[in-house]
Chains A and B, each alone.
Chain A
Amino acid sequence: MSNLGYLFAAYAVVWVGIFVYMLWLSSRMRSVSRDLERLTQEWSQHLASKVQK
């Protein structure tokens, strides 16, 4: 590999690494947001049913 090849490989590693981490973060946030939304709805329904009683 020429020196330029090493140079591009190094920066590719940096940006792929950061990109993969950001993708993972984003995916986890979406998943946790969905859980939070579901639990919020459950809680609201529970409160509503308590008020009705």
Chain B
Amino acid sequence: MAATYQEGSISVRSQGQSSALRPWTNILGWLTGASVLLSIAAIFLYAPTERVQGDVQRIFYYHVSLAWISYLAFFVVFVSSIMYLWKRSPAWDRLALASGEVGVLFTTLFTITGSIWAKPIWGTWWTWDARLTSTLILWFIYVGYLMVRSYVSGREQGARLAAVVGIIGFIDIPIVQLSVTWWRTLHPGPTIVRQTGEIGLPAEMLITLGISMLAVTLLYVYLVLQRVRLEAMKDTVSALSLEIAEEV
């Protein structure tokens, strides 16, 4: 249902998302669910067992997928933050917030799954090597990005400050990615495409990784859309409350 108010200057979409988009979001939800199920089947039934690490290596498919999509999420924060500072449109801020939140969720998950993988392989849950340390810094940067809005009075001021954090924080992404090349790390170096340019995985593993990446990408898009919708609804509630307060 979309409601347009004749009085006052606001035009309100009562559900924060046009009715035209809703069926597509539902379709996306179903596609996401199907791709996740397919990825689980591929990981546990199709992908071969790695010779050295055994079955624990299967953590790799979601660990890597979550990591790459986190980078995508923070890239979206970076671009949306620039657009927000340039255009001052709340829509860009909503997208940045949504993508940042999902990015922090995915970063948390890939860090934990990496730690769980590390215990049987390295004999430790954590080590202060370059990849893990720079990833932890990344997590703190974007948790800070989310928190900074709460510490500033005024929605617009919070959004501007967060946008600055979102732009500067993106510098850590290439550092995280290149840390295994620049420094000696315990974390495995490039395994999918080696530094020689050679593909480092057999076909079945590549296919499984591809399916997992697709599932996580769809999940990211779905979660961001839902989060943007929630934020749009909250903005509508704020605007409407203000309008009513002024009229009464």
Which residues of A come within 8 Å of B, CB atoms? Answer: 1, 3-4, 6-7, 9-11, 13-14, 17-18, 21-22, 25, 28-29, 32-33, 35-37, 39-40, 42-43, 46-47, 50
Contact = CB atoms under 8 A, between A and B. Distances in A.
A22 to B, nearest CB: 7
B148 interface: no
Contacts of A1: 120
Contacts of B138: none
B120 A3 contact: yes
B15 A33 contact: yes
B116 A40 contact: no
- Chain A contact residues, majority secondary structure: helix
B59 A6 contact: yes
Contact of B248 (A14, A21, A36, A46): A46
A49 to B, nearest CB: 10
Interface residues of B, number: 40
Contacts of B31: none
Contacts of B233: 29, 32-33, 36
Contacts of A18: 105, 109, 219, 223
B55 A4 contact: yes
B247 A46 contact: yes
Interface string B130-150: 000000000000000000000
Contact of A25 (B63, B117, B223, B240): B223
Given A6-B116, A7-B58, A50-B7, 20 more contacts: A6-B120, A10-B59, A10-B112, A10-B116, A11-B40, A13-B113, A13-B116, A14-B62, A18-B219, A25-B227, A29-B226, A29-B230, A29-B233, A32-B233, A33-B233, A36-B233, A36-B240, A39-B237, A43-B244, A47-B6
A16 to B, nearest CB: 10
A46 B244 contact: yes
Contacts of B59: 6-7, 10-11
